[in-house]
Amino acid sequence: MPLGASFSFMTLSLLIKSKKIFLASLVTLYFFSLGITADLLITYIEKPYKIIPLKNIKNVNSIVVLSGMRQFTQKKQEIIEWMDPDRFFAGVRLFKEGKSKRIIFTDGYSPYYGTELTEGVLNRKDAIYMGIPSEAVLVTGKANNTFQESEELKKLFINKKFLSNEIILITSAFHMKRAKYFFERAGFKVFEYPVDFKSKCLKPKLMHNLICFFPNASSLNISSLVLREILGRFISKVT
């Protein structure tokens, strides 16, 4: 990623006393920290997805909401915060609009959470709290990545003997292309419902916003997010 690469080359430049490498590392860090750079990258990776009106969504048997929305902190107190709740609320909204009689949360889990709590279980509790019948909310087995999420959903469908393989797949726009690839490879007919659009600077009203032309940590994070997703897409194609 840009930050790690830049500091690695800075260290190298100091060891071998190379001004050119040091300057190149600074330019790289500056470039990927620009708002306009981050927005060009995220706009590219979010294509061709756009916000879809609810009336254009087909009714199916299962709404599937992918993990990646929660932040687990403080092991003893088990405080859980939202990072990007768009996926969760989109799933709840589609269910309440009658687009499906079932909502399934993938059970995202990582040993780095520092807690035994899992995302899918928490999402199920919150969905029930918001008025969705408990029998209509399911959770897959634990999964650490998108490929495992697709495999766990496949197992759930086999165990429950669901007849239809049609699903509304909800995830962030930048992640949708790779997610769709894995779920279609697992045998599902996918209807995409992308959310969590992140592009900002290229929108007409903000085009002349000067912050887009100055480096900042938020833009560096977006650039890194895009590069990780591009790497993930490449790996998914060769494995």
What would the pLDDT profile of 164-207 be if each residue is shown by its tens digit?
999 999 999 999 999 999 999 999 999 999 999 988 766 555 55
pLDDT value, residue 78: 60
Q: Please list the residues that pair with 224 across neighbouring strands.
A: none
**pLDDT tens readout for residues 24-35:** 999 999 999 998
Cβ-contact 62, 95 below 8 angstroms: no
**pLDDT tens readout for residues 54-80:** 999 999 999 999 998 887 765 555 667
pLDDT value, residue 226: 94
Cβ-contact 135, 95 below 8 angstroms: no
pLDDT value, residue 77: 52
What CA–CA distance (Å, rounded) separates 118 from 34?
Answer: 35
Give the number of other Cβ atoms within 10 Å of residue 104's Cβ.
Answer: 27
The residue ranges of every structural domain in the chain are 2-47+214-238, 54-195
Cβ-contact 100, 60 below 8 angstroms: yes
Q: How confident is the model at residue 136 (pLDDT cuts 50, 70, 90)?
A: very high
Residue whose pair of structure tokens reads 């292309």 in the numeric block: 177
CATH topology of domain 54-195: Rossmann fold (3.40.50)
Among 34-38, 140-144, 164-168, name the one with the lowest average pLDDT: 34-38
